[in-house]
Amino acid sequence: MKKIKDVLRLRIKGELSFPKITLATGVPKSTVSDYCRKFEGCGKDIESVLALSDDALDALLFPEKPLAVSFKPSRPLPDYEYVRREFAKKEVTLELLWEEYRRIHPNGYALTQFKLYYRRYVQTLNPSMRQTYAPGETMFVDYSGSTLNVHNTQDGTISKAQIFVSVLGASGMTFVHATASQKQEDFILSHLKAFFFYGGVSHFITPDNLKSAVISHKKGVIVLNESYEEMARHFDTIIQPARPYKPKDKAKAEQGVLGIQRWILAQLRHQTFFSVDEINQAITPLLDRYNNKVIKRLGKSRTGLFDEIEKVHLKPLPLNRYVYREFKRAIVNLNYHVELHKCFYSVPYTHLKAKVEITYSATTVWIILNADVIATHPRIFQPGEYSTQGDHMPPNHLYSQQAMNPERLLKWAKGIGEKSEAFVEYRLIGVDYPPNAYKSLIAILKLAKQYGKDELDAALEYARERNISSYRSIESILAKKLYVTLSSTFSSDKDVSHSPAAHRGSSYYR
């Protein structure tokens, strides 16, 4: 109250301006004006006001306001939860919903009040529920910061299982999947599991900006991971990453992650798991319980809302099976091959030094130039191995390749020793396309010049018994004389005729 009296004294008796009073007392200019206006309206002189006690001055200038009467609607309120769900649907407006309300209640609230009470209702919901999403429109995906331990029984190590979470925008229906990592293949696998869990595909997917989804997201320019984009094309959906540092863009995912941490992961914290599959088996019943739990504000569960408003709006799953593919760009080498994970695949020799795109799955490799597939190969995995097709070779190379046929290789090996001949036969039947093995076999047989025929013959027997076929490994066997210092798995005088390749003859390879 001292401040009020100081203000009034300086203004009325001192006749100072509002800015000067503010400077002298520290009271804002608007408040000074308010105090003076209150004084002018009280009907008393300055001396009598300054003589009042603090309580009396407060009662004089600021009489007690009447208690607010709680609002009781005089007309029937709409079912605003129903309005919220309907308003989320495409092309439905609040005006349309108001008209439907007035048809039921002709004396109901006007449009302005209808909208006002709807906004007040929305403010009572949690942040994720306030955002309006059309049914089937968006699936939000993210990883939980919390993980579960996986114990390796062989070496005793402990790894962290990553927890993938997806949430549908309209119903909040949630899916949870544990994987060994957040790598691209695991990330996409979790999406496939989510699609089949929901029985359909949303029109949009909103992920965070992790590397398995987004290569870069700067200044509004989004570069998606090619495999992720390929998956989206297959399922006819659109990837819309959340903006960096904008958590409200994926509030549903944030709420979903928080929910499963409290209701699922917390319940599993004391369990010991030995595989990711065990974790997913434990998650399943807890996830069903989470989705079936009734949300008090809404009076319905996530499953109930999903079945009622969202399921029918999802896009159907495609009929053709999705095959996970990865992509790589490469330049055709001078030997008309491209390299993929240290394996080599041929292309027509007319495309030397061309920039191509390699698309590959677990079983097949496609080499693409200007949107045309110029070569297709079965996937190989042994580093240094070649997959070469005869029609890709220039004529002079093809002649040379044909000149070195199985008959010549077998004859050359037989001149070194019976064990060498058995090794060559065994090697030739172990490849889908025998010419792919010619280069390696020629290099191996040439080792007889450096180490001697007997030494190579013994080394090749040792290699065949242990299923060793690469040039470098056999050269190491010779250099270290492993065929002498280590005992052979089979007796050295074992009849070669029992070999899987025995008695096939050179005509078998034609």
**What SS3 class is residue 234?**
helix
Query: With bands split at pLDDT 50, 70 and 90, how would you rate the model's confidence at 181?
Result: very high
> What does the pLDDT look like over 23-74, one tens digit per residue?
777 788 888 888 888 888 887 888 888 888 777 887 787 775 444 444 455 6
CATH superfamily for domain 138-313:
Ribonuclease H-like superfamily/Ribonuclease H (3.30.420.10)
Count of beta carbons in the 10 Å neighbourhood of residue 296: 6
- Left if phi > 0, otherwise alpha if psi is -120 to 50, otherwise beta: which for 452? left
List the chain domain ranges: 2-61, 138-313, 326-394, 404-509
Query: With bands split at pLDDT 50, 70 and 90, how would you rate the model's confidence at 14?
Result: confident
pLDDT beyond 80 at 397: no
- For the segment 172-176, the average pLDDT, to the nearest whole number, is 93
User: What percent of the chain is predicted at pLDDT more than 70?
Assistant: 84
Strand partners, 386: 344
Alpha carbon 284 to chain centroid, angstroms: 20
To the nearest 10 degrees (0 to 180), the angle between helices 471-480 and 435-445 is 20
The residue assigned the tokens 């060994």 is: 180
pTM passes above 0.85: no
- For the segment 459-470, the average pLDDT, to the nearest whole number, is 89
pLDDT attached to residue 132: 62
d(CA 222, CA 457): 60
d(CA 8, CA 194): 71
- Cβ contact 351:336 at 8 Å: yes
pLDDT beyond 60 at 509: no
d(CA 33, CA 56): 20
- Cβ contact 259:167 at 8 Å: no
pLDDT attached to residue 70: 45
- For the segment 301-312, the average pLDDT, to the nearest whole number, is 92
Residue 265 neighbours by CB under 8 Å, 6+ apart? 144, 146, 148, 163
Torsion over CA: 290, 291, 294, 298 (sign): positive
d(CA 308, CA 200): 15
pLDDT attached to residue 219: 64
**422 or 507, which is more confident:** 422
